[in-house]
Chains A and B, each alone.
Chain A
């Protein structure tokens, strides 16, 4: 930990400083110590002149790789306490590291719900002891996530919670949501809204449309999400509270957010890789791995999500990593729980946006590292000198075939089985601690 570590010959990309060039990075005592950019082209020869090869220094050659700030996942489910059979803080953070994430923000829908300082303290302590990366818990907005009474958001913030959400459920009562938004003004945290009108989604299990008719499954209309986003935007406008909209999935939602931003309402929004990678067609054959909430939508929605990312309407790409036990997904479609174990495929799926020209690599890293840090007010997502050493070295050209048996996550529920993707984490440094991912893979 105290050794100086040199990362050399990589392409350093840091949107927080507007940096994109080839050079070296030095890490010492868990912090970024030095950075030197050599130029816009990769050096032909190995640069050994400027690196001291004395004992006590570690050299990592990142030639041909990207050196980026550790990614920040502001929407993930670590399931502990209470649902350790699906995932634990240990396995979830290990999966995060493999996916290139050095900061995870777990949602509070655990058992017991993270709606008070005691549970929050438990999560933070467990993460310090067993976690592979930083964990910044998200507390509940309401007690028990029941949508009735506000949780002790102030006290939880002092323990270390960075945001609040009833994710998994919406706050159905508009008055309660109004109060919660108003309350944020006394503090610095945002509310993360899971926007779903439960009376419209009823007991639907996939997007309502021709495919739900074809499969004879009850559908959830896009309106169920849009109605709620509309409401929360109005409440944010009314109160001036801090609102971040979770897992945006429809065109209508993107349009509502775009218009709200153009009116100057200070909201932020996120989407997840599955919403710009697959559509409701993935459900054909009654594949429970494609059952997720909000549900996978249509081609039109997918295109709108990409457009929303491109023009800045959507600020963040989060994973909504939702691991479930295999037994729970081998059930009747109606009974299977919603969720995709996505943290280990998120980066590769998102890199496709760069390959398609939807985003530049800089913009992608803004969405996955810098913006989430900014919104949550945490000092991550940057390679500034003095910042915590959360650095990821990625081989963006390396191909792999998605095989959930190789996931570090306990959750093997992914609809991307068999996909060939590009973009593998080679070395991940979290708070200065170095994880050689390639070696992990070799050792199983």
Chain B
């Protein structure tokens, strides 16, 4: 395993499969009465979140505590960063506290890569700009592994704002590495003109999800409407939203996934979000197990 997990592209197929296996074992720990193991007792982790995030941050924090790490949450808005301290100085200051792991989320692509080069601590990318969200892709893979018995050969449709989605980017790499077939579905304004290699692009959502084993819906950021990516949320839902009727076009046992938080009625209908095929809440549980597995496996 490398020192850091900044990009899902950096880990091999074997390493990815190992993480998935270990994550499933960690799920066992999460079901026990005493949900804690002393594995990383005495190690310290700093959660450095430059972008606001409740769910990912909480998920990481729980994972870290379950492994008995000492957890520090570095609240950026109240720190010297606002006073004009550079990113590098912030990281160096934190490193001087003697930390083993750094979990970073930042609005600029490439920041975790940059920081990983500058620090001895193990860096975990919790989301950088529109670039990557490796642990999300891993937890999505774990979910598919659990529910479908394996990722290889699955037809996975990722639907929505692909252009700005780090979840989509990481998933494309992870899933193709594990042998799944990926479709990118959405309005032409929200799919890059140069899509990643090996995917099929669909502007027609009905064709895009026909027969799919997994339908992964992405969150539409409402600000994008103001920048001429689509004219209105009403039009978006009509042409690209996941309604109950549309879901029938997918495989009858297709999984409905969403990284959260959902905009009910904009990318996904409310009843679909709660239907029996939806594994959205399962994804959240798997998130903690995956983050435990990732931190456990990095050198630290």
Chain A residues engaging chain B, CB cutoff 8 angstroms: 208-210, 212-218, 221, 285-286, 327, 330-335
- Taking the closest CB of chain B, its distance from the CB of A220, in whole angstroms, is 12
Residue contact A217 to B110, C-beta cutoff 8 Å: yes
Give every chain B residue within 8 A of A217 (Cβ-Cβ). Answer: 109-110, 129-131
Q: Please, how many angstroms separate the alpha-carbon atoms of A347 and B129 in the complex?
A: 38
5 CB-based A-B contacts, threshold 8 Å: A208-B193, A216-B129, A216-B166, A332-B110, A333-B110
Q: A213-B194, A285-B113, A286-B113 are in contact. Are A332 and B87 (CB under 8 A)?
A: yes
Q: A208-B194, A209-B194, A210-B194 are in contact. Are A332 and B132 (CB under 8 A)?
A: no
Q: A332-B87, A332-B110 are in contact. Are A213 and B166 (CB under 8 A)?
A: no
- Taking the closest CB of chain B, its distance from the CB of A335, in whole angstroms, is 7
Residue contact A327 to B196, C-beta cutoff 8 Å: no
B-side interface mostly = loop
Of A210, A216, A335, the residue contacting B131 (CB under 8 A) is A216
Of A216, A221, A327, the residue contacting B130 (CB under 8 A) is A216
Q: Please, how many angstroms separate the alpha-carbon atoms of A334 and B106 in the complex?
A: 11
Residue contact B108 to A334, C-beta cutoff 8 Å: yes
Q: Please, how many angstroms separate the alpha-carbon atoms of A331 and B86 in the complex?
A: 8
- B114 in the interface (beta carbon within 8 A): yes
Q: Which 4 A-B pairs have the closest CB atoms?
A: A216-B131, A286-B110, A332-B108, A216-B109
B192 (CB) vs chain A CBs: closest residue: A213
Q: Please, how many angstroms separate the alpha-carbon atoms of A330 and B87 in the complex?
A: 9
Residue contact B87 to A213, C-beta cutoff 8 Å: no
- B128 in the interface (beta carbon within 8 A): yes
Give every chain A residue within 8 A of B153 (Cβ-Cβ). Answer: none
- Taking the closest CB of chain B, its distance from the CB of A214, in whole angstroms, is 7
- Measured as residues with beta carbon below 8 angstroms from the partner, the interface class of chain B is 20 to 34
Give every chain B residue within 8 A of A215 (Cβ-Cβ). Answer: 109-110, 131
Give every chain B residue within 8 A of A286 (Cβ-Cβ). Answer: 109-110, 113-114
Q: Which of B129-153 contact A (CB under 8 A)?
A: 129-132
Q: Please, how many angstroms separate the alpha-carbon atoms of A334 and B108 in the complex?
A: 6
Give every chain B residue within 8 A of A208 (Cβ-Cβ). Answer: 193-194
Give every chain B residue within 8 A of A214 (Cβ-Cβ). Answer: 196
Q: Please, how many angstroms separate the alpha-carbon atoms of A286 and B87 in the complex?
A: 15
Contacts A213-B195, A286-B109, A330-B86 supplied; 13 other A-B pairs, CB < 8 Å: A208-B193, A210-B194, A210-B197, A213-B192, A215-B110, A216-B110, A216-B128, A216-B166, A217-B130, A217-B131, A218-B130, A332-B110, A333-B110
- B169 in the interface (beta carbon within 8 A): yes
Name which of B108, B169, B197 has the most chain A CB atoms within 10 A of its CB: B108
Residue contact A330 to B195, C-beta cutoff 8 Å: no
Q: Please, how many angstroms separate the alpha-carbon atoms of A208 and B169 in the complex?
A: 16
- Taking the closest CB of chain A, its distance from the CB of B87, in whole angstroms, is 6
Q: Please, how many angstroms separate the alpha-carbon atoms of A221 and B192 in the complex?
A: 12
- B254 in the interface (beta carbon within 8 A): no
Q: Please, how many angstroms separate the alpha-carbon atoms of A307 and B195 in the complex?
A: 29
Q: Which of B189-240 contact A (CB under 8 A)?
A: 192-197
Q: Please, how many angstroms separate the alpha-carbon atoms of A213 and B88 in the complex?
A: 26
Q: Please, how many angstroms separate the alpha-carbon atoms of A210 and B194 in the complex?
A: 5
- B111 in the interface (beta carbon within 8 A): yes
Residue contact A335 to B113, C-beta cutoff 8 Å: no
Q: Please, how many angstroms separate the alpha-carbon atoms of A213 and B128 in the complex?
A: 14
Q: Which of B158-196 contact A (CB under 8 A)?
A: 166, 169, 192-196
Residue contact B114 to A332, C-beta cutoff 8 Å: yes
A333 (CB) vs chain B CBs: closest residue: B110
- Taking the closest CB of chain B, its distance from the CB of A357, in whole angstroms, is 32
Q: Please, how many angstroms separate the alpha-carbon atoms of A311 and B162 in the complex?
A: 42
Residue contact B109 to A335, C-beta cutoff 8 Å: no
- Taking the closest CB of chain B, its distance from the CB of A144, in whole angstroms, is 26
Residue contact B195 to A333, C-beta cutoff 8 Å: no
Q: Please, how many angstroms separate the alpha-carbon atoms of A335 and B192 in the complex?
A: 22
Q: A209-B194, A216-B129, A216-B130 are in contact. Are A327 and B108 (CB under 8 A)?
A: no
Of A213, A330, A331, the residue contacting B196 (CB under 8 A) is A213
- Taking the closest CB of chain A, its distance from the CB of B282, in whole angstroms, is 27
Give every chain A residue within 8 A of B166 (Cβ-Cβ). Answer: 216
Residue contact B106 to A332, C-beta cutoff 8 Å: yes
Give every chain A residue within 8 A of B114 (Cβ-Cβ). Answer: 286, 332-333
Q: Please, how many angstroms separate the alpha-carbon atoms of A331 and B87 in the complex?
A: 7
Residue contact A334 to B194, C-beta cutoff 8 Å: no
Name which of B107, B111, B197 has the most chain A CB atoms within 10 A of its CB: B111
Residue contact A333 to B108, C-beta cutoff 8 Å: yes
Q: Please, how many angstroms separate the alpha-carbon atoms of A213 and B33 in the complex?
A: 45
Interface 1/0s, chain B 90-116, versus A by CB < 8 A? 000000000000000011111101100
Q: Please, how many angstroms separate the alpha-carbon atoms of A138 and B194 in the complex?
A: 39
Q: Please, how many angstroms separate the alpha-carbon atoms of A212 and B169 in the complex?
A: 12
B172 (CB) vs chain A CBs: closest residue: A213
Residue contact A333 to B109, C-beta cutoff 8 Å: yes
Give every chain B residue within 8 A of A210 (Cβ-Cβ). Answer: 194, 196-197
Q: Please, how many angstroms separate the alpha-carbon atoms of A330 and B90 in the complex?
A: 13
- Taking the closest CB of chain A, its distance from the CB of B186, in whole angstroms, is 14
Give every chain B residue within 8 A of A334 (Cβ-Cβ). Answer: 107-109, 129
